[in-house]
Amino acid sequence: MPFFSRSTTAFPRIPPWGRDPQDHCDHDRTRHPRLGRRRGLRVWLISLLVLCLSGGGAAWGSELGDRLAAFPTWSDRPPVHPANGDLHYPTWFEGTWEVRTTLEDLAAPLAPDIISPGFESNRTYLHQPIDFQARFVPERRGSAGWLPIKLSGAPLLVADRAFNGANLAKAYLDDPTGAAKSPILAVKVDPENPNRQVTLLRGDRQLLSTVTARITETPSANEFLTCEISQQEFRSTGSIYFNQVETTTAYVWADDPQNPLADDDPRIMADQVTAIYLSPQDPDFFKAGDRTTPFLQASRPVALYRYHLEFRPVSPASRP
């Protein structure tokens, strides 16, 4: 997610579906002035899972860092645990940020046997930055639903998933001229479960994303690595489609008092890889597994998307 849902949940790009959900529903085919409405939806569906959102060469010295550095050679699942409560972030995430996310690379590990529809066309978005705002806030205290009671100390920091998810979706899908209505009606988080998020779209469509497992690592005070597994459910009139998405991200706090940054330098940088796994309903599901794969769980991803993210603090005048 991650902090947004690419479906990242809190943010939470490119279709997270083994089969393009557009093939399972009818909708407005008008092309978005920037991305094309159809292809923009594909890109956002994964991005929304993520900031939602690439490891190459960084020596993280951790299991998740090694996984990112191994891109695109991913042949198994990450060592995650069932998700319990929200994902908590280091204190240096607090506040509102201008986020820039850029697709740096993509891979189809099972090609030519299995290539996700739309994979090749997604190369169009390589090295094209997308900007949006995201924020991280203290977790609310209380006794209702999933909200925890913390008796002492500072509140834990969480992503504002609804805010982040809506902004990322609009950055991908809205008409930049403002001439057309936004296809995004709302992004809502289940008040009983912070890991469950729904995005409502025009045309009686919705994307339901549920984080089911995660793991985090903190190699140092300035590094934070996360991995989340999300179950995605795309619904439209008369059809429903499922898939599973992994988002693995390495964040670095870059503001060193001994080496002050310029005002326009990013304070947080991140490398992120989103992996797409086929659902059991896909005709190629069993081809994506191997003899050690548990039943109904494809062990190998059919698509990998690698992103670079930069976070710059929002000036008070530009905050919503």
User: Is 3 domain-assigned?
Assistant: no
CA distance 241 to 11: 21
Answer whether residue 2 is part of any domain. no
Radius of gyration of the chain from its Cα atoms, rounded to whole angstroms: 19
Query: Is 5 contained in some domain?
Result: no
- For position 318, what pLDDT does the model report? 56
For the stretch 150-187, pLDDT in tens is 445 678 999 999 999 999 999 988 888 888 999 999 99
Instruction: Indicate whether 13 belongs to any domain.
Output: no
φ, ψ for residue 41, nearest 5 deg: -65, -40
Give just the sign of the alpha carbon dihedral 278, 280, 284, 290. positive
Q: Which amino acid is at 32?
A: H
Domain that residue 37 falls in: 21-318
Whether 167 is in a domain gets the answer yes
Residue % of the chain over a pLDDT of 90: 48
The SS3 assignment for 269 reads: strand
- Residue 7 domain-assigned (yes or no): no
Above 80 in pLDDT, residue 191?
A: yes
Contacts of 12 by beta carbon, 8 Å cutoff, 6+ apart: 1, 2, 3, 4, 5, 6, 48, 49, 50, 51, 52, 161, 164, 165, 168, 197, 209, 230
Instruction: Answer whether residue 93 is part of any domain.
Output: yes
Residue 195: partners with Cβ closer than 8 Å, 6 or more residues away: 9, 83, 86, 210, 211, 212
Per-residue pLDDT tens digits for 54-76: 333 344 458 999 999 999 999 88
In a domain, 208, yes or no: yes
In the structure, what pLDDT confidence band is assigned to residue 8 with cuts at 50, 70 and 90? Answer: very low
Residue 5 above 70 pLDDT?
Answer: no
pLDDT at 280 over 90: no
Tell me how crowded residue 11 is: count the other CB atoms within 10 A of its CB: 38
Number of domains in the chain: 1
The span from the CA of 235 to the CA of 196, in Å, is: 15
Confidence of residue 315 (pLDDT cuts 50, 70, 90): confident
Q: Please, which pLDDT band fits residue 316 given cuts at 50, 70 and 90?
A: low
- Among 50, 39, 42, smallest CA distance to 9 is for 50
